Structure 1
């Protein structure tokens, strides 16, 4: 889907339509791809680059905001198809792109072999010679268009966000939460934090959201899913929910059914907020669209609690 200002949203097709986005940024006949979906999405992403009229040899950069598989799993296959691209990755994520053995093993342990083969199979290593380490403040030059990488932990320690000065907008990966279009109403977009295992940290996430808002962005592009504006309101919503999610987790700390307790409380929190936002059939939509994210958020919160309690 072509957008304005030389930016194309690519639906990677991971799991369902409207779930996982990559972004193609064009300038002066050259391009950068920001995030790329899982390995099973690689051909769909290549087809979208072709459909945008960009020669594969003109893609100079593949920028992965972090190395979770829905953002970086296709990097290896894509680097083989994009002959001039270099992979831009956070220092903490680079080793896992060069040798994805641990990522693959971890994904198999979480998803099981059958689901891994269906949704993630085909990951490949990226040659170290084609990897660029994006320290905080690293600038990716794209035919005169500067893409600034800023360290934004909280969702993951290996996460950066990308500032595009030309549009005064961020590509925020998962730092600015989940905003699925099914929850849009006359009041605008709806947002939920994502606390995926295993590195969620609420204080880091608060700070990273403030870093994004400090530039008064015109919009923020999230991986799940698309572009949002009204960034101050959404940032305040995220701050409120992070605090509420921490309280939910602490309240369930000693419960024998802790995961179930946390997940149930998250479902009620998101449903109440969706109802207040004017979402039709809010409870059913939360279950249908956010059900998997609720389970993942509950896992991430429990792991954070265990780490914080040591």
Structure 2
């Protein structure tokens, strides 16, 4: 199937979650970016206490380096900033809408895949920190949902996922395998389509659409480049977990343009496994299994 046929199949299937009015309301609030109403957002989130509790658990984990425990999302804005809280809320909503429990591929290990997403989140944050980016923790949110295209395929077209993985097991890079199976289409294309369908913010769409092809991004170019390097670092970690022998591909042009050296990358790669395991102890995968759907 090509991209058009895949999207048509997903649209016609009954497996893609249909978002409810409350989710739409939250997206509308978040889409106002730095001007969004935090009190209105908190009122909407209060309808899902588990979501609020999960967010605060992660925020208070120590990873975000908040000087004291916070008890409300409003308090956390003081330390992390509106944009970071905005994107963290969004990432958790998307993960709840596309929980692992809906996945149907019989060949992938979803716990290990969650580790890849966390690895990308953590690596991206470390890169942003290295670059002195003030709003570095928004990259944690990008990492959680950068591969939503894979989640959609796992839910709606698991056979495609199975075929891609079988080709990967022969040592072929994931993107090449996807383009072979989907006639030029990739999980990034499917993810970008979903971002547009759900009216997600443009910077989120960029992280989803261009984390493999950052030089093609026309906006949020730095975000796309950081996500590309972070995803590459985490992919190596993830493929080691799966005992895959795919050649590790790092875009040195992108790294150089950011001022990231191979020493920086090796340092992040070395620290990543322990940091992922620490975060897995904090994030219970089951928190993403409460669907916010109608």
Structures share a fold, TM > 0.5?
no
Q: Which has the higher helix share?
A: 2
**What is the TM-score when the length of structure 1 is the normalising length?**
0.30
Q: Which has the higher strand share?
A: 1
